[in-house]
């Protein structure tokens, strides 16, 4: 079979359910429910720290997670800090999350703030546990002085008494930095919004309780949307996710049948 | 001189961090609170390394008259143009954000999504059951794929249950073993750097 | 994020240019590739400048007069010496600082979280139902899972243990069990890799058909 036929099949497997949704329900898993319950259980006014540690390449998977959790936090009247160890995540947050806050009638600097990006990875995080303002250079993402924001008055450093929960939306290694440099030393509970590719690697830390919850890629976002009762982008993609996975399984089976029938010769790829 | 000073700096840097972490005196002296800030400044100062490397590479290719000349020109023009725009407007500028959302975001997302096509092709061509181990791997892959989509839930509750067991028990055991090994390896490498056995960075 | 119509068109052309690689390597893909590298690099520089360098010079230096901070900044600048003939060795100063500091961070902060992983492996095998009508009674499923988990982790480690020759049934079977555990883990990793890549492709197709062409509801 030529590669191009496989590509056509794949595109069709995605387009058809997008055009004619099957509407199969998404059942939440324990890893997602844990995060939902934690956010739900926080008293109003608690500070939640959402780390936007992903770049534009991970938008389709991670942004829906961040949107769902951010919306949930604001609906519960929690205060949200946005910050990123990736130069792109905070820009994406400004364009996609800030409008959600405004639509819910929330005010910048009082209900949520975007601290922008700082270079240095784990060192930035360690610095924030000692002196948040100094580590941030005293400004937010737009260069405005932190002293002007009411929310920042009670946030001089990251510790258990100031921040109730950290959720790291990441497409790379930042989860380890939050675990080693912030969560372990300060005791602030840490949860992850992970892309599916990294989900496996993070599971051992979920089992040991070092991560309190993990959202698994787009599926995790769809589950959170269901729990929140606000189906969105992730939910609408789940049928296409089903059919594309079915196609891949079908291709594996077909490839093996051809291999066994063809005297165990390996198929050479053709364009 | 050119070797000794950097080697000494490496050892001192390790000592400062380790001392502040494990010794009460180091913590009281607040060593890393000061030095962390210094480190961030050194990182910030090095921000143009990527730009300079790209400039050198593509100017060199332009000079040698390679057939990618027009692309090299585009790269340099776009990079310096976008940077100038950012300096003039800041990252909050209307045009800067316009370009970011209209060009960088779709290019980045689409680049990663290309792999979906190659995974599909590889599934058909490369995923062969040649041994018991390969069969185990294929069964695990298939169960995770079907168990993590709503179609699996709809077909049978056994699929999401099997996936959950695989993810929480079997694969977590495998990855924990691998990660403990990798973690110990990381500690050993850090220790070798401290002892001066690992010095690849001094040849840069 | 809300995009203007012109932005949507530009984004659609950029998306199609990258997708064209599936057909074959072509000028549109190559152009998109070069533009991507250029924009991503420039974006990183602007972000560091805006969020760190600008406030550093305006507040710390100009306003607060902390001139001592210019020393580490100057050490960072030495990295550019690698481009100067005869002074290249100076770039090793910031490099050695970064490598040493990074190694220090690993030695200082990673052992504790790592050993929590070990501690969590050596748990009681005997399990009781944590809640529900059978709470407190013996739980066969949980007990078997804990035994399998312990065996999986330890034999995976044994599989990578090369200092002892694999002779005798205990060593051979444990290495085999470790190999099976690793195969299950890698199979699961392939499954989630498929999941992730498909999600990204679905996202781009949703953009083309929905946001651009307006065919999806």
Q: How many domains does chain C have?
A: 1
Of C14, C91, C152, the CB nearest to B107: C14
Q: Is residue C142 part of a domain?
A: yes
* SS3 track for chain A: CCHHHHHHHHHHHHHHHHHCCCCCCCCCCHHHHHHHHHHHHCCCCCEEEEEEECCHHHHHHHHHHHHHHHHHHHHCCCEEEEEECCCCHHHHHHHHHHHHHHHCCCCECCCEEEEEECCCCHHHHHHHHHCHHHHCCCECCCCCEHHHCHHHHHCCCCCCCCCCEEEEEECCCHHHHHHHHHHHHHCCCEEEEECHHHHHHHHHHHHCCCCCCEEEHHHHHHHHHHHHCCCCHHHHHHHHHHHHHHHHHHHHHHHHHHHHHCCCCCCCCCC
Which of the two residues, A110 and B32, has the higher pLDDT score? A110
* A132 CB-contact burial (10 Å; exposed 0-12 / middle 13-18 / buried 19+): buried
Residues of C in contact with B6 (CB under 8 A): 89, 92-93, 95-96
Interface chains of chain A (3 or more CB pairs under 8 Å): B, C
The alpha carbon dihedral of B192, B195, B201, B204 has a sign of negative
Cβ of A95 within 8 Å of Cβ of C1? The answer is yes
Q: Is residue B92 part of a domain?
A: yes
B129 shares its domain with B184: yes
Q: Is residue C121 part of a domain?
A: yes
Q: Which of B113, B146, B178 is the last residue of a domain?
A: B113
**Chain C, 14-43: which have a CB under 8 Å from a chain B CB?**
14-15, 18-19, 21-22, 30-32, 34-43
B142 to chain A, any CB pair closer than 8 A? The answer is yes
Does C165 score more than 80 pLDDT? no
B97 shares its domain with B133: no
B181 shares its domain with B170: yes
B163 shares its domain with B187: yes
pLDDT for res A270? 52
Q: Is residue B50 part of a domain?
A: no
Q: How far is C136 from chain B (nearest CA, A)?
A: 22
Q: Is residue B197 part of a domain?
A: no
Distance CA B197, CA B201 (A): 11
CATH of domain A29-238: 3.40.50.80
Cβ of A256 within 8 Å of Cβ of B129? The answer is yes
> Which of B31, B42, B86, B133 to probe by mutation at the C interface, max C CB count within 10 Å?
B42
B73 shares its domain with B95: yes
pLDDT for res A119? 83
Does C166 score more than 60 pLDDT? yes
Q: Is residue B161 part of a domain?
A: yes
Q: What does the pLDDT look like over B103-156, one tens digit per residue?
A: 999 999 999 999 999 999 999 988 888 899 999 999 999 999 999 999 999 999
Residues of B in contact with C49 (CB under 8 A): 47, 86-87
Q: Is residue C187 part of a domain?
A: yes
pLDDT for res A3? 87
B121 shares its domain with B160: yes
Q: Is residue C153 part of a domain?
A: yes
Facing residues of A190 across strands? A166
Q: Is residue B54 part of a domain?
A: no
- Interior angle at CA A54, CA A48 and CA A57, nearest 5: 145
Distance CA C184, CA C179 (A): 9
B122 shares its domain with B162: yes
Q: What does the pLDDT look like over B4-21, one tens digit per residue?
A: 899 999 999 999 999 998
For residue C60, give the 3-state DSSP assignment. Answer: helix
Q: Select from A116, B29, B9 the least CA-distant residue to C102.
A: B9
Q: Which residues of chain A have pLDDT under 70?
A: 1, 264-271
Q: Is residue C33 part of a domain?
A: no
pLDDT for res C84? 87
From first CA to last CA, the distance across chain C in angstroms is: 17
Confidence of residue B202 (pLDDT cuts 50, 70, 90): confident
Q: What does the pLDDT look like over B35-84, one tens digit per residue?
A: 988 999 999 999 999 999 999 999 999 999 878 899 999 999 999 999 99
Q: How far is C25 from chain B (nearest CA, A)?
A: 13
* A124 CB-contact burial (10 Å; exposed 0-12 / middle 13-18 / buried 19+): buried
Please tell me the pTM assigned to this model.
0.93
Does C160 score more than 90 pLDDT? no
pLDDT for res B201? 80
Q: Is residue B87 part of a domain?
A: yes
Does B195 score more than 80 pLDDT? yes
Q: Which of B82, B97, B113 is the last residue of a domain?
A: B113
Q: Is residue B24 part of a domain?
A: no
Distance CA A113, CA A96 (A): 14
pLDDT for res A147? 94
Q: How many domains does chain B have?
A: 2
Q: What does the pLDDT look like over C11-63, one tens digit per residue?
A: 999 999 999 999 999 999 999 999 999 999 999 999 999 888 998 999 899 99
Which residue range(s) make up the domain with B183?
115-191
Residue pair A173/A17 in contact by the 8 Å Cβ criterion:
no
B44 to chain A, any CB pair closer than 8 A? The answer is yes
Confidence of residue B29 (pLDDT cuts 50, 70, 90): confident
**Chain A, 69-108: which have a CB under 8 Å from a chain B CB?**
88, 91-92, 94-95
Residues of B in contact with C94 (CB under 8 A): 42, 46
Q: Is residue C189 part of a domain?
A: yes
Q: Which of B94, B113, B132 is the last residue of a domain?
A: B113
Instruction: Please report, rounded to a whole number, the percentage of residues in chain C having pLDDT higher than 70.
Output: 99
Look over chain C and give the mean of its residue pLDDT values, rounded to a whole number.
92
Q: Is residue B2 part of a domain?
A: no
């Amino acid at each position: 079979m030529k590669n191009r036929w496989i590509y056509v099949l794949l595109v069709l497997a995605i387009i058809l359910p997008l055009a004619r949704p099957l509407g199969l329900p998404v059942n939440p898993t324990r890893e997602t429910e844990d995060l939902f319950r934690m956010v739900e259980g926080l008293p109003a006014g608690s500070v939640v720290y959402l780390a936007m540690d992903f770049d534009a390449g991970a938008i389709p998977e991670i942004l829906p997670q961040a949107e769902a959790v951010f919306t949930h936090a604001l609906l519960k009247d929690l205060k949200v800090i946005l910050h990123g160890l990736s130069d792109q995540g905070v820009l994406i947050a400004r364009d996609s999350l800030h409008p959600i806050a405004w639509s819910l009638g929330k005010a910048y600097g009082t209900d949520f703030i975007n601290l922008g990006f700082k270079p240095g990875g784990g060192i930035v995080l360690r610095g924030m546990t000692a002196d948040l303002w100094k580590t941030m250079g005293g400004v937010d993402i737009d260069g405005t002085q932190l002293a002007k924001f009411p929310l920042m008055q009670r946030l001089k450093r990251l510790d258990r008494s100031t921040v109730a929960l950290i959720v790291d939306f990441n497409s790379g290694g930042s989860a380890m930095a939050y675990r080693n440099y912030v969560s372990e030393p300060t005791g602030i509970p840490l949860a992850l919004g992970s892309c599916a590719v990294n989900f496996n690697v993070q599971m051992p830390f979920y089992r040991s309780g070092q991560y309190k919850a993990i959202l698994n890629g787009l599926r995790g976002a769809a589950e959170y949307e269901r729990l929140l009762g606000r189906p969105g982008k992730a939910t609408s993609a789940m049928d296409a996710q089903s059919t594309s996975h079915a196609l891949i399984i079908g291709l594996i089976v077909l490839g093996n049948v051809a291999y066994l029938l063809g005297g165990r010769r390996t198929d050479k790829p053709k364009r | 001189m050119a070797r000794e000073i950097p080697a000494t700096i490496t050892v001192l840097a390790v000592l400062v961090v380790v001392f502040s972490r494990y010794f009460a005196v180091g913590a009281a002296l607040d060593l890393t609170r000061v030095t962390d800030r210094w480190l961030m400044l050194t990182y910030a100062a090095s921000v143009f390394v990527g730009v300079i490397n790209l400039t050198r590479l593509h100017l060199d290719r332009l000079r040698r008259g390679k057939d990618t000349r027009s692309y090299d020109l585009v790269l340099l023009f776009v990079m310096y143009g976008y940077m100038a725009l950012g300096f003039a407007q800041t990252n909050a500028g209307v045009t800067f954000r316009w370009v970011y959302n209209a060009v960088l975001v779709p290019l980045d997302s689409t680049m990663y999504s290309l792999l979906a096509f190659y995974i599909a092709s590889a599934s058909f061509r490369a995923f062969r059951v040649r041994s018991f181990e390969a069969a185990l791997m294929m069964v695990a892959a298939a169960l995770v794929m079907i168990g993590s989509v709503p179609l699996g839930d709809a077909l049978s509750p056994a699929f999401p249950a099997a996936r959950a067991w695989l993810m929480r028990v079997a694969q977590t055991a495998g990855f924990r073993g691998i990660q403990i090994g990798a973690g110990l390896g990381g500690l050993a490498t850090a220790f070798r750097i401290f002892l001066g056995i690992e010095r690849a960075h001094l040849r840069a | 994020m809300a995009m203007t119509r012109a932005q949507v068109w530009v984004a659609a052309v950029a998306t199609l240019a990258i997708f064209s690689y599936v057909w074959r390597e072509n000028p549109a893909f190559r152009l998109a590739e070069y533009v991507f590298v250029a924009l991503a690099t420039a974006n990183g520089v602007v972000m560091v400048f805006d969020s760190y360098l600008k406030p550093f010079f305006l507040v710390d230096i100009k306003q607060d007069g902390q001139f001592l901070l210019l020393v580490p900044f100057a050490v960072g600048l030495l990295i550019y010496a690698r481009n100067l003939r005869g002074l290249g060795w100076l770039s090793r100063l910031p490099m050695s600082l970064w490598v040493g500091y990074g190694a220090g961070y690993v030695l200082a902060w990673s052992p504790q979280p790592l050993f929590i992983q070990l501690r969590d492996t050596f748990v009681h095998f005997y399990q009781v139902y944590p809640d529900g009508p059978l709470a407190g009674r013996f739980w066969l499923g949980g007990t078997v899972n804990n035994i399998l988990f312990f065996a999986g982790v330890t034999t995976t480690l044994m599989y990578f243990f090369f200092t002892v020759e694999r002779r005798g049934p205990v060593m051979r079977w444990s290495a085999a069990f470790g190999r099976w555990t690793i195969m299950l883990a890698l199979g699961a990793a392939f499954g989630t890799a498929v999941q992730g890549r498909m999600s990204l492709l679905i996202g781009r197709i949703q953009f083309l058909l929905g946001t651009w062409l307006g065919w999806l509801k």
